[in-house]
Amino acid sequence: MCSISVIFIIAAALLTGCSGNEPDSGSQVIAQIGSLRLCREDLQGYLPHNLTYEDSMNLTRRYIDSWALNRLLVLEARRELSKQETDVEPLVEEYRNQLLIYRLENKYIARMLDTTVTLDEKQEYYRNRSSEFKTENGLIKGCMAIMYSSSPLLARTRSLLMRSGRAESGNPEEFLYNTAYKYHNFTENWTDISIVARDMETDTATLLNGIRNSGPFFENNDSVFCRFLYITDFIEKGELSPFEYNAEKITTYILSNRKQKLLADFHRELVNKALDNGELKIADDYEN
């Protein structure tokens, strides 16, 4: 059996080394399993600078434990597994090949991909695939204010939002930002109802029913907070979501399609070139 010895004379030498005040003194062994050794310099990049003595010792011990366990598991695997089970070279080779392919394709895409997506392209994509952009939960625009239940301005805020979502006078945004525990104005941006429902501490179905049955104002209170929501626009669940809500997503889709086409063309050209120059030969009678 291989033995493990952890050497704790690292304290002074290792910790001063971490501060950068002394040069590396050489290969001081701090842990060993048989012929496998963990040296002081192996820890240089692991320990941050300016740690306390206690933190440095804790991190060092954690690193040593992790190093030791990893090596012991490998040794145990070699003892317990058959020769066939320990032969991982084909897997390693396959992983290496896939990594090389991944890097090559990324480099090719970085060089060849046109990342400009025009408004016309996005609108055409939206028109041709409108069925893909139906809302899952529904969308709303509006503003939301969360107040402490004990706030003396509670009634005024409720009245303000129930009427029009605007303050009676002065700057409405300033009033609501200064009054509310939390205020969010999304009157210019479509927002998924599920996101608003979470902020309102309710579920999507309850919020949808409230919108359908009670009009543009929704309220949900508990012993700590009163939550007010004023809705300026609403798109029902399952209806087509607006182009502007999907514009960024559409850009991602278009670029993804371009990448796929680039790679398909690249693969085809690579194979055809290899066939043409004789690098790739496929037997005519390969079929059984």
Whether the per-residue pLDDT at 12 is higher than 50: the answer is no
What distance in Å separates the CA atoms of residue 44 and residue 16, rounded to the nearest whole number?
A: 11
Tell me the two tokens of residue 100.
């090389």
Residues near 133 by beta carbon (within 8 Å), at least 6 away in sequence: 126, 240, 241, 246
Whether the per-residue pLDDT at 6 is higher than 70: the answer is no
For range 128-142, the mean pLDDT: 95
What distance in Å separates the CA atoms of residue 187 and residue 111, rounded to the nearest whole number?
A: 41
What distance in Å separates the CA atoms of residue 137 and residue 128, rounded to the nearest whole number?
A: 22
Q: What is the pLDDT of residue 45?
A: 77
Q: Where are the beta strands (DSSP E) in the chain?
A: 4-6, 29-33, 36-39, 139-148, 182-185, 191-192, 217-221, 225-235
247 vs 156, more confident: 247
Whether the per-residue pLDDT at 168 is higher than 60: the answer is no
Residue 288's pLDDT band, with cuts at 50, 70 and 90, is low
Q: What is the pLDDT of residue 2?
A: 45
Residue 286's pLDDT band, with cuts at 50, 70 and 90, is low
Q: What is the pLDDT of residue 171?
A: 58
Whether the per-residue pLDDT at 203 is higher than 70: the answer is yes
Instruction: Give pLDDT tens digits for 35-44.
Output: 899 988 888 7
Whether the per-residue pLDDT at 236 is higher than 60: the answer is yes
Instruction: Give pLDDT tens digits for 77-120.
Output: 999 999 999 999 999 999 999 999 999 999 999 999 999 999 99
For range 39-60, the mean pLDDT: 83
